Structure 1
Amino acid sequence: MKVIIVNDKHAESKTLSLGLWTRTLLSLCLLGAPLGAGVYLGYQAGHDDEVLDYSALQLLKDRSEQQQQELSDAKRQAEQQLQALTLRMAELQSRLVRLDALGERVTTIAKLDKGEFDFSQAPAMGGPETDDLGQSYTQTDFVNNMDELLAKVDDRAQQLEILETLLANRKIQDDIFLAGRPIKKGWMSSRFGHRTDPFTGRAAMHEGVDFAGKEGSAVISVAAGVVTWADKRYGYGQMIEVNHGGGYVTRYGHNKEHLVKVGDIVKKGQEIALMGNTGRSTGPHVHFEVYKHGRPVDPAAYIHRTNR
């Protein structure tokens, strides 16, 4: 094999003769260089893939550990919330038991119809429901039970509020219910109606009843009300007038001393004056009148009433 080398500058050429071994070595160099480069590049590529695979696996491992930690934290928080809800439910159940006991006692004391206020029975309920047999107890079920318990507590509370209103109204009605005598000690000395006037001797209308007794003894209100007069009045001497509402007014005359003043709210049976002999009077007594819608009525109908 001959190799010709040409020199451009001097236009000269040289010829080299290559032997068999030289040609073989040159061929191996020319063919081995690309093969070696390919092997090297393949090795590098494989090594890089190994690095990338390791980094990806490490990243997945880190993410998995992070998710496990997050799940652990979430589970712990859920358990804490469940414990709190359990305690809350136990508290609501204890409140419900106390409300039931109180409602039963109030219903018994007030002598109310147990058919309307029955705290010993659960509130009536119903309606169609789907078949969920075999399903596990879920958080939704727990929340629904909590809501149901809260509804029961609200139901009991509403019943107690109604009871309170009824009892308050009953107390008010009892207090303003005119009944009884305007004195603690004494006797009826003159009745309602026509009689002989003790001062003139002529027939006259007596628009109240008189209760005689010891001077200074207590004069009491026969019903709750508001004092609308507490001063001298012609013919009555020292007089107290009490408005009981519903068109009822009572008067207490000939008092020695007043224990209340205009604007005071008096209770049923409260001492409002001391018996005296003031005004047009022949001796210590209280002149008691009852007015209904502005007209005098016989107090005897109210004196002999049974207190509620």
Structure 2
Amino acid sequence: MQIMITHGSMARTRVLHFNRLQLIALAIGFLIGILALSGTIYHVIFLKAAREGWPVVSQIVRLVVRDEFAQRDRFMRENLDAMAQKVGEMQAKLIKLEAIGERVSGLAGVKPDELKQIAPALRRGGQGGPFVPARKPSLEQLNGMMDSLDESAEQSADLFTMIESRLFEKRLEALMVPNSPPVNGVVGSGFGFRSDPFSGRPALHTGLDFPADVGTPIMAAAGGVVRSTDFHPAYGNLLEIDHGNGLATRYAHTSKILVKPGDLVKRGQVVAQVGTTGRSTGPHLHFEVSVEGVLQNPAKFLSGKAPAALPRTTAATAPAAAQSPR
């Protein structure tokens, strides 16, 4: 591209040569200059006119700004209404969760005093009803609603955490109750008085006998900790498992014990094998259950009629191991 510049008829003509890159740079520079000039005019003239109230320019600026503010306000109002509706839906769901939590907490055994500590809002009594949001809720009102919902959600989470803990405790209590048969088979001799097979005189039989072949697996009636694995003249090879809360089970006359003191065992785990050691007339398992050292009828536990949490007793009795099972 060539540009010829002359100053008169007799003057010498000047020729300027521009390539493509130079033309592009000139065009960009021109656009930048136009943008800078327009921004300067807007900020210096229009804004100044709006502040000082110039007759014509200020009215034009106010109309433009008013429309922009109206559109922005309408957009914010629509969003605030949508947020208010969502807040109402969340409040309704939280009210349902609180009602469910109160019912389930009663089933889980959570006391009312503990509920008050978790959720102080429960002290105010029953509350509820449909949520009717303000026709034009402000941003501050929505922030307050959101804070209240956040607090309620934290309280509900704490409540359900406690309920889960209590339900887990109840499950553990049930797992620690010896209500699973230690041997797959029928009971040969029950708990109570009978004729002693050796002397023929009436005597108390302190457990249940499960006739079985030597080597038949013996399973833990519940989870617990192995207390002892000793030999007793009457019980023979004797295994004792502590189930907590004063509950203990004994497995007597075994031919072989497969665990050692201190081992953790779970319900149904094979812990020994049937034998005929000690004071025994033949291969069988003598199974006993005691609470705080007081012998109980194992049939009540195996039938599921024994309570999950047995009360502790203060009765003084002789050690159960001093009895003579047959």
Question: Which range, TM-score by smaller chain?
Answer: 0.5 to 0.7
Cα distance, 1:285 vs. partner?
A: 0.8
Map 1:23-62 → 2, pairs under 5 A: none
Residue 171, structure 1, aligned to residue 171, structure 2: yes
SS in 1 for 2:179: coil
Distance 1:153 1:286, change over 3 A: same
Cα distance between partner residues in 1 of 2:137 and 2:164: 39
Q: Which residue of structure 2 lines up, in the alignment, with residue 228 of structure 1?
A: 227
Cα distance between partner residues in 2 of 1:252 and 1:190: 15
Cα distance, 1:291 vs. partner?
A: 1.9
Cα distance between partner residues in 2 of 1:191 and 1:146: 64
Residue 290, structure 1, aligned to residue 289, structure 2: yes
Map 1:84-163 → 2, pairs under 5 A: 125=127, 136-163=136-163
Cα distance between partner residues in 2 of 1:274 and 1:168: 32
Aligned partners of 1:197 and 1:204 also within 8 Å: no
Cα distance, 1:251 vs. partner?
A: 0.7
CA deviations over 1:113-148 (Å, ceiling 9, x no partner): 9xx99xxxxx9547xxxxx966x4332122112212
Q: Report sequence identity in percent.
A: 29
Aligned partners of 1:207 and 1:296 also within 8 Å: yes
Aligned partners of 1:186 and 1:214 also within 8 Å: no
Higher normalized strand content (fraction of residues): 1
CA deviations over 1:58-77 (Å, ceiling 9, x no partner): 9x96xx9xxxxxxxxxx9xx
Distance 1:306 1:293, change over 3 A: closer
Cα distance, 1:180 vs. partner?
A: 4.7
CA deviations over 1:244-297 (Å, ceiling 9, x no partner): 223222111111222332122333333322222222222221111222222223
Q: Which residue of structure 1 lines up, in the alignment, with residue 275 of structure 2?
A: 276
Cα distance between partner residues in 1 of 2:107 and 2:134: 44
Residue 156 of structure 1 aligns with an amino acid whose one-letter code is: S
Cα distance between partner residues in 2 of 1:261 and 1:206: 27
Question: TM-score when scaled to structure 1?
Answer: 0.54
Structure 1 gaps, min length 5: 1-56, 65-74, 118-122, 127-131
Cα distance, 1:201 vs. partner?
A: 4.7
Question: TM-score when scaled to structure 2?
Answer: 0.52
Q: Which residue of structure 2 lines up, in the alignment, with residue 248 of structure 1?
A: 247
SS in 2 for 1:146: helix
Q: Which structure's CA Rg is the greater one?
A: 1
RMSD: 4.8
Cα distance between partner residues in 1 of 2:134 and 2:210: 80
Aligned partners of 1:197 and 1:203 also within 8 Å: no
Cα distance between partner residues in 2 of 1:254 and 1:225: 20
Cα distance between partner residues in 2 of 1:280 and 1:175: 32
CA deviations over 1:66-114 (Å, ceiling 9, x no partner): xxxxxxxxx9xxx9xx99xx8xx99x96xx79x95xx79x95xx9769x
Cα distance between partner residues in 1 of 2:163 and 2:137: 38
Residue 303, structure 1, aligned to residue 319, structure 2: no
SS in 2 for 1:188: coil
Cα distance between partner residues in 1 of 2:148 and 2:217: 57
Distance 1:170 1:188, change over 3 A: same
Cα distance, 1:202 vs. partner?
A: 5.0
